[in-house]
Structure 1
Amino acid sequence: MGWLFMSRHAMGGHETPKAYLDAQFTYARDRLDGGSDGLRILDSALVGLTTYYAAAQVTRDGKGGEVFAVVCLIRWNPRNRNGEHFGYKDIDETMGPSEDDCPERILRLLTSSDNEYALQWRRRCLANLRLRARKLTEGMRIRLAAPL
């Protein structure tokens, strides 16, 4: 999978990468038997303007099912002179993304999975959340894993 780049004007009126991606990943398609299949974004976050995380729910005939994580690498440069203002590369948790700063509120929405890549990714995200939750106070001594 590669990157998709576009001008700001090609974003369909969406002002931010998050708004654009929320709209792109939310859809419903009619089936020949009269039903529909789709995807609905339950919650999403843009972390550091470089990574988009979303909890996406699979829908069938309007009813919600499995919820999985979508991860997009983001390039946002609204002043780009070449007209490539926004770019993204979308993957999901089963592809074992390297980005592991997913907010806890999104991780809580995900349904269980038996995919090993997804489980490893979720564990890394939770470990990072635990590390960031540690509070440092003035005068506190910290020990690094390796000398600087």
Structure 2
Amino acid sequence: MGWLFMNRHHMGGHATPKSYLDAQFTFTNAPDDKGIARGARVLASSCPGNRVWYAAVQYSENGVPTEVIAMVCLVKWNPRDKEALHFGYKDMSESMGPCEAEAPENILRLLTPTTNEYSLDWRRRCLARLQKRSRKIVDGMRVKFPQAITFTDGFAGDEFTVVKRGATITFRPVGKYGHYRIRNFRDLEWSIVPETKVHRTIFAPRPSAAMPPP
């Protein structure tokens, strides 16, 4: 399916893309010529930054659940659009292998097993991203990137020391001065550089000299 755009006043009273799409993918159709009434219900959804909508959608036949699959919608949201096309979306199922693969864990846990290769690949990519973002970031740790990163001041480097102050993370080039910010750091490939620690040598105290007998 291609893109569908609309005025925000045609969103059925829904104030956000998330609430509109939640309603769009929750429905019950009239029975077909075989007497089967098919329906769907959004079990969980997320739309970070109003850019991509992810959802676990449960499908059913005559009220009996059949499967839970992931749906992905690309979203364009601009309440100030000059042409009054404030909201647009393009929907895909996981079986179409969307490039966007940032579904949160609570949605992935709801999906039923599948043998579809495109769906399996999409789920693997989502899990790989979650694993990357779960890596522990510690102040003072040294990290190395596969390729050098070039910054706006012209500096390029691939090895940095993490400087963490609360929720703020900056990077100091190893052996140099200055601090840099690296966009989407948690989603990038990098490895921890092990540091050799030199331990202080502790010598046993000398035994006291024996006193001669009186």
Unaligned runs of 5+ in 1: none
Q: Which has the higher contact order (CA 8 A, sep 6+)?
A: 1
5+ residue gaps in structure 2? 150-214
Report the identity percentage: 54
Question: What pairs up with 1:1-148 in 2 under 5 angstroms?
Answer: 1-31=1-31, 32=33, 34-148=35-149
CA distance in 1, matches of 2:50, 2:43: 20
- Name the counterpart of 2:177: none
Q: 1:33 to 1:96 in 2, by over 3 A?
A: closer
Distance 2:121 2:36 in 1: 35
CA distances 1:83-132 after superposition (whole Å, capped 9, x unpaired):
11000000010000000100000000000111101000000000000000
Q: Which stretch shows the higher mean deviation, 33-42 or 129-138? A: 33-42
Letter in 1 for 2:141: M
Deviating more after overlay: 32-41 vs 95-104: 32-41
* Matched residues, number: 148
Letter in 2 for 1:26: T
Q: Is the 8 A contact 1:47 1:101 kept in 2?
A: no
Distance 1:44 1:14 in 2: 15
RMSD: 1.1
* TM-score, normalised via structure 1 length: 0.96
Indicate the SS of the match to 1:122: helix
Displacement, 1:48? 2.6
Please state how far the C-alpha of 1:64 moved relative to its aligned partner: 1.2
More helix by proportion, 1 or 2?
1
SS of the aligned residue for 1:119 comes to helix
Return structure 1 stretches of 4+ with deviation > 2 angstroms.
32-35
Q: Verify the 8 A CA contact 1:40 1:58 in the aligned structure 2.
A: yes
What letter is aligned with 1:102? A
- Give, in angstroms, the shift of residue 79 of structure 1: 1.1
TM-score (normalizing by structure 2): 0.67
